[in-house]
Amino acid sequence: MKDSPHSNGKRVSMPVSGMHCAACAARIEKTLSSLPGVERVSVNLADESMQLAFDPAAVDLDTVVRRVADLGFTATPPQAEASLELAITGMHCAACSARIERAVGALPGVLGATVNLAAETGKFSFDPQRTSVRDIRRTIRDLGFGSESLQATDFFKTRREEAEKNLSRLRRELYPALILAGLLLYVSMGHMLGLPLLAMIDPHHSPAGFALAQFVLVLPIMWAGRRFYLIGIPSLLRGGPNMDSLVAVGTGAAFLHSLWNFIEILLGVDPAAKAMDLYFESAGVLIAMISLGKYLEAGAKYKTSDAIAALMRLTPDMATLVRDGEHVPIPLDEVVAGDVLLVRPGERVPTDGEVVEGLSGVDESMLTGEPLPVTKRPGDTVTGGTLNTTGALVVRTLRVGADTTLARIVDLVREAQGSKAPIADLADKVSFYFVPTVMACAVAAALAWYFLGGATYTFSLRIFTAMLVIACPCAMGLATPTSIMVGTGRGARLGILVKSGSALQEAGKLTAMVFDKTGTLTR
């Protein structure tokens, strides 16, 4: 957490899972804004995060997390302690694992040490101000065992992996749903276009077979889209309907109506007429199409993080530590301030530091945009992520981890991507009231057609379902944050840092830009 520049409070960023449309983000903002002590809250649907400024004396994070949970979402607060998970090799019995637990647990600042002999893994929690990852791994190594990190220590990498897994899951569910929806559409509508159907599923020869075929095809589609019901119905019952509620109610009504007619066909109640009053295909095709939209939406959100991923790839995974005249390769997360590192020609500088030995040209185009390398001598500073070109450099580390220049650039880009442009506030306000308004209009329209227009129950049901499923506020709520993420990310890759979404929106009004810079502007 960082001090807010505008108050004595605190500012924190945390992931929020379970959001599915702009109405979800708007509900979280409106609920948390009403809490005493909350100064500002901004929820970004596109990257599923929340920026919160609050007064710790008036409200704590546990209260915020509980209020978010009451709305049906999950907010994960940042941990005050660091955690480390390692794959440990060389253990042969329970005594080995016990030795590691005792030795690591005795280190200053280690809060917990658990070693699993069967899985050959260890989990450790510690205070990073008192001990380091290197201390823990060195202790394990001194005991005669090997260790390797099992987890990505960077939050962004973890979130990106989760997004990739979610995209893969949606893809696995989408393909069968689309194929079955196509078959369902053929069975239900094929005879109207003169397409051939087997006699056993032809509505004119076998109404029961016709209805059974559609029922069998729609069930796996609804199972693939079960998240709409598992999320939408509880949200509706909590009084905060979202886009999934629209889909769940609309397709659920069509399915239940068709199921009742299917039962009547089996009971012999006017089967020929009832066979023409089935809407299984409406439920199945709508779920498949909306699932396709969800997949495309998830893909767009995943790609918005490409710019940050490209920036993070600038730092190497390993560094060469100079210790007692030896060159020891170590993981980057083990480097601490004060370490002396060797940077060979062609390697990227691991962290921010000061040159203590050597002469070389360093490509700093990632920072300055200048294509020519800058000569570095002893006493000069170097930046993590820049490229060493000609000679070897020995560098003393000044800043590591989140304190490096590149890490601050990544944080700035991430914060800008998560910020809201003024136009996004308008979209969120509209989205918040949009879903309940649509549901009310759908009910009013169906009742008006039935009681005032003299329409049949079936026609009124179609009006109700159609109004629910075509009214999705997601595009409205996602368009602005996604464009901000893409714009700021693309700018970062080109060396242009945008401070916030509002700055990006104002930049769109520029007609001329004046540069005050010594030297030349690089095209």
- pLDDT for position 98: 84
Asked whether residue 169 falls in the same domain as residue 245, the answer is yes
Domain that holds residue 89: 82-152
Is 516 a catalytic site residue? Answer: yes
At 203, is the secondary structure helix, strand, or coil?
Answer: coil
pLDDT band at 8 (very low <50, low <70, confident <90, very high): low
Residue 87 clears pLDDT 70, i.e. is over it:
yes
165 shares a domain with 257: yes
- Look at residue 427 in the predicted model and tell me its pLDDT: 66
Predicted local confidence at residue 150, as pLDDT: 65
Distance CA 354, CA 338 (A): 10
Residue 381 forms part of a structural domain = yes
Confirm whether 471 is domain-assigned. Answer: yes
Q: Is residue 496 part of a domain?
A: no
For 52-100, give the DSSP string. Answer: EEE-TTT--HHHHHHHHHHTT-EE-PPPSSEEEEEEEE---SHHHHHHH
Instruction: Note whether residue 510 is domain-resident.
Output: no
What is residue 165's predicted lDDT score, i.e. its pLDDT?
85
pLDDT tens, residue by residue, 133-186: 888 988 998 888 888 776 544 556 666 777 788 888 889 989 999 999 999 999
Per-residue confidence (pLDDT) for residue 80, from 0 to 100? 64
For residue 480, pLDDT over 50 is answered with yes
Question: Is 410 part of any domain?
Answer: no
The 8-class DSSP code of residue 193 comes to G
50: domain CATH number is 3.30.70.100
Together in a domain, 274 and 323? no
CATH number for the domain that contains residue 331 = 2.70.150.10
User: What is the average pLDDT value for the chain, to the nearest integer?
Assistant: 82
CA–CA distance, 276 with 278 (Å, rounded to integer): 6
Residue 272 and residue 168 share a domain = yes
Q: Which of 343, 347, 372, 346 is nearest to 357 (CA)?
A: 343
pLDDT band at 473 (very low <50, low <70, confident <90, very high): low
Specify whether 374 is located in the same domain as 435. no
Averaged pLDDT, 488-516: 76
* 70, amino acid identity: D
Query: What band does 27 get if pLDDT is binned at 50, 70 and 90?
Result: confident
Q: At which of 26, 44, 75 does a domain end?
A: 75
Q: How confident is the model at residue 364 (pLDDT cuts 50, 70, 90)?
A: confident
Judged against a pLDDT cut of 70, whether residue 7 lies above it is answered with no
The amino acid at residue 204 is: H
Furthest C-alpha separation in the chain: 94
The C-alpha angle 63, 67, 71, rounded to 5 degrees, equals 165
| pLDDT value, residue 5 | 41
pTM of the model: 0.62
| 286 & 167 share domain | yes
Task: Give kind and range of the element (H or E) at residue 113.
Answer: strand 110-116
Q: Please report whether residue 56 resides in a domain.
A: yes
Say how many domains are in the chain: 4
Query: Can you read off the two tokens belonging to residue 315?
Result: 């730092």
Whether residues 431 and 301 fall in one domain: yes
Residue that terminates a domain, selected from 152, 182, 214: 152
CA nearest 315: which of 407, 403, 396?
Answer: 407
Structure tokens at 328: 């020891």
Answer yes or no: is pLDDT of 337 > 70.
yes
Give me the sign of the Cα torsion angle 397, 398, 400, 404: negative
- All residues at 6 or more sequence positions from 230 whose CB lies less than 8 Å from its CB, including other chains: none
Do residues 247 and 217 share a domain?
yes
Task: Please provide residue 409's backbone torsions phi and psi, each rounded to the nearest 5 degrees.
Answer: -65, -45
- Nearest alpha carbon to residue 313 among 164, 485, 166, 157: 157
Which one of 152, 168, 186 terminates a domain? Answer: 152
Average pLDDT over residues 280-308: 79
- Reported as a pLDDT band with limits 50, 70 and 90, residue 233 is confident
Task: Report yes or no on 501 lying in a domain.
Answer: no
464 and 384 in a common domain: no
Residue 89 tokens read as 């090799």
pLDDT at 232: 83
pLDDT at position 477 is: 57
pLDDT tier at 458, thresholds 50, 70, 90 = confident
Asked whether residue 494 is domain-assigned, the answer is no
Is 296 found in the same domain as 204?
yes
Note whether 285 and 304 are same-domain residues.
Answer: yes
Give yes or no: residues 174 and 250 share one domain: yes
List the catalytic residue out of 62, 142, 317, 516. Answer: 516
